[in-house]
Amino acid sequence: MIDYFAANLWQLWVLVTVVCLILELTSGDLFILCFSIGALVTAVLSAFGLGFYGQLAVFVVASVLSLLFVRPSLVRRLHGRKKERLSNADALIGRIGRVSEAIEQGGYGRVAIDGDDWKAVSSDGTYVPMGQNVRVVGRESIIITVEKA
């Protein structure tokens, strides 16, 4: 059994590649992707008969090189040159939405943005009728602050 695993270590590296890709889907930071690249390079070389310690060395070197060269390039391409990457509710600031439930004077209403419905308050406390287009100017917890667009 051990002889089979020793002769077919490339399968283990392919498994490591797939597991790292699945884990990358949960994080989205492109960090684990570098280890997946390292494992893929190691799987290819392992299939050509590279020894176990050589495989470990290739995995470490390929992963480090990916961290140094591939990840920064991908992050720059996906997120632009902005230092701060907005996500979730913070990405709503500046977006345009439509009032789905009238915002009462000094009270709350609802605003639909990209299929999501958010509890909203007017920035100046005025009444905003249903159907009015509004721009998100702030967020406090799960309540967005809007102004007429």
99-102: long-range contacts (C-beta < 8 A, 24 or more apart)?
99/128, 99/129, 99/130, 99/131, 99/132, 99/133, 99/134, 99/146, 100/130, 101/130, 102/127, 102/128, 102/129, 102/130
Residue 91 has pLDDT above 90, yes or no: no
Residue 84 has pLDDT above 80, yes or no: no
- Joined together, the tokens standing for residue 21 give 């890709």
Reported pTM: 0.58
The residue-averaged pLDDT of 29-38 equals 93
pLDDT band at 34; cut points 50, 70, 90: very high
Pick the closest to residue 147 from 101, 94, 100 (CA basis).
94
Tell me which CATH code domain 88-148 carries.
Answer: 2.40.50.140
pLDDT of residue 145: 93
pLDDT of residue 49: 87
Residue 36 has pLDDT above 90, yes or no: yes
pLDDT band at 64; cut points 50, 70, 90: very high
Could you give the percent of the chain with pLDDT greater than 70?
94
Pick the closest to residue 71 from 101, 38, 119 (CA basis).
38
Residue 6 has pLDDT above 90, yes or no: no
pLDDT of residue 16: 95
Q: Which range has highest mean pLDDT (56-65, 78-87, 138-147)? A: 56-65
Which range among 3-7, 55-59, 63-67, 96-100 shows the weakest confidence by mean pLDDT? 3-7
The position carrying tokens 């958010």 is 118
Backbone angles phi, psi at 32, to 5 degrees: -70, -25
The residue-averaged pLDDT of 50-62 equals 94
Residue 40 has pLDDT above 80, yes or no: yes
Query: Domain limits of the chain?
Result: 2-79, 88-148
